[in-house]
Amino acid sequence: MEEMEIVDAHEHLPPEKVRTDAKVDALTLFSHYTRTDLITSGMSSENYNTIIDSEKPLDERWKMFEPHLEYIRYGSYAQPAFIAAKEFYGFDDINGSNYKELSKKMQEMNTPGIYNRILREKCKIRIALTQTGSTDYQGDLLIPLMPLDSYAGIRSAEDVSKRADSMDMTVSNLDDYLELAKKGVAKLKSEGAIGLKMASIPNSPPSREAAEKVFRDIMAGKKSSETSKLWDFLMNYLLDVAAEMDMVVAVHAGMWGDFRQLDSKHMIPVFPRHPNTKFDLYHLGMPSVRDTIVIGKNFPNVWLNICWCHIISQQMTCSALDECIDMVPMNKIIGFGGDYNRPVEKVYGHLLMAREDIAAVLGRRIDREMMSIDEAKNITKKWLWDNPRELYKLSI
């Protein structure tokens, strides 16, 4: 796997200039998902925001951070930070005796080309699919997906007006807005977007009549308690637009806040409603992995994306991958997505953990004579290269 070129099927990486223009230090490696473990270990949200603010004195921030380090260092979220410190900066640990030197090295290496050095050269990532709400990317490394809510979400007449102005259109009724939304998605595709992103949230069968009423109320400046009916209608409309334009719909499911509201099962009525739309179901719906695996087994237009999973729990991911092999066709599983933003170094650590998980799961099957080494290599190539490339029709 170390020699294998791969597709990174989910990131939040901004344009490289955003990273190189920022000050970075050792505590940058504990930003993003590590936030959850720091706060649940007892750190306040205010203190977390302080420790990752590289404009403030490093020594003061480290003093805030250090008491919590021993609480979180063994968790999966923290592992990519330690891997990155070793692989890129030569430190076997991150601690009170070396954080200043580590910070100095990180800033020295925070130069143009860092994405290529880490993602292409070290990780062998040919393409990374990224989501930052922008299509402003140069080169062929980062390819964007855009939020479906760019057009499904309407909160005020001003939202509609701004979108209409940006497309040089006039919107006076729902049909006008549907035309605008379709043109808007086409514009995103012309700018390089290859998919739309949504969340798995409760929704009802779409009602044109209910949607029109809410739309009229919003355009008239009235408050509506039924805006979800408009969202349901527009979301379902855009899912068909995505199919028409041959764009994949990525679906966040599971982990984050009240994960009950993001349960992958919310999408069960949606998938058969849009049989021509291809859905990339994220994170195996963790922690509801078994329900999500059954969804992948039963719906031909749903792929299962293991992005984020390896750093949520390697043990849960290995168990889930084993059950995926039992239940899901091998062309329907996407094996890796780093799911990071500013700390790009951690993508490598996550990838290393993903390789460990895949090797452990397939290796056990080889040992039990359930598959050969060559068959395991073929499956690995499907998960890390063939399946995401074919689903998103990447020309690589």
Residue after which a domain boundary falls, among 109, 144, 178 = 109
Residue 220: which pLDDT band, with cuts at 50, 70 and 90?
Answer: very high
Same domain, 94 and 230: no
Indicate the SS3 state at residue 109.
coil
2: in domain: no
Q: Model confidence over 109-145: pLDDT tens digits?
A: 999 999 999 999 999 999 999 999 999 999 999 999 9
CA distance 149 to 251: 12
Average pLDDT score over residue span 235-245: 98
Q: Model confidence over 247-279: pLDDT tens digits?
A: 999 999 999 889 999 999 999 999 999 999 999
Tokens of 216: 């009229």
Residue-level pLDDT at 68: 98
Same domain, 315 and 246: yes
- Torsion angle defined by CA atoms of residues 291, 296, 300 and 305, in that order, rounded to the nearest 10 degrees: 140
pLDDT at 188 over 90: yes
9: in domain: no
Q: Are 180 and 190 spatial neighbours (Cβ–Cβ below 8 Å)?
A: no
What does the DSSP assignment read for 62-79? HHHHHHHHHHHTTSTTTH
From the list 387, 290, 254, 313, the residue with the least C-alpha distance to 77 is 313
Same domain, 262 and 291: yes
Max CA separation in the chain (angstroms): 68
Same domain, 76 and 131: no
Same domain, 204 and 318: yes
CB-based contacts of 175, cutoff 8 Å, min separation 6: none
CA distance 115 to 348: 11
CB-based contacts of 42, cutoff 8 Å, min separation 6: 68, 71
Q: Model confidence over 305-352: pLDDT tens digits?
A: 999 999 999 999 999 999 999 999 999 999 999 999 999 999 999 999
pLDDT at 224 over 90: no
CA distance 365 to 352: 20
171: in domain: yes
Indicate the SS3 state at residue 42.
coil
Residue 38: which pLDDT band, with cuts at 50, 70 and 90?
Answer: very high
172: in domain: yes
From the list 317, 320, 328, the residue with the least C-alpha distance to 295 is 328
CA 154 to chain centre: 23
Which runs of E-coded beta strand occur in the chain? 6-11, 125-130, 142-144, 146-147, 195-199, 248-252, 279-282, 302-305, 333-334
7: in domain: no
pLDDT at 60 over 90: yes
Average pLDDT score over residue span 58-87: 97
271: in domain: yes
Structural domain of 88: 23-109
CATH of the domain at 288: 3.20.20.140
Residue after which a domain boundary falls, among 109, 136, 154 = 109
Sheet of 142-144: strand order equals 6-11, 125-130, 142-144
CB-based contacts of 123, cutoff 8 Å, min separation 6: 6, 8, 347, 348, 351
8: in domain: no
Number of domains in the chain: 2
pLDDT at 30 over 90: yes
Same domain, 285 and 136: yes
Residue after which a domain boundary falls, among 66, 90, 109 = 109
- Torsion angle defined by CA atoms of residues 70, 71, 75 and 79, in that order, rounded to the nearest 10 degrees: -30
Sign of CA dihedral 154, 202, 272, 294: positive
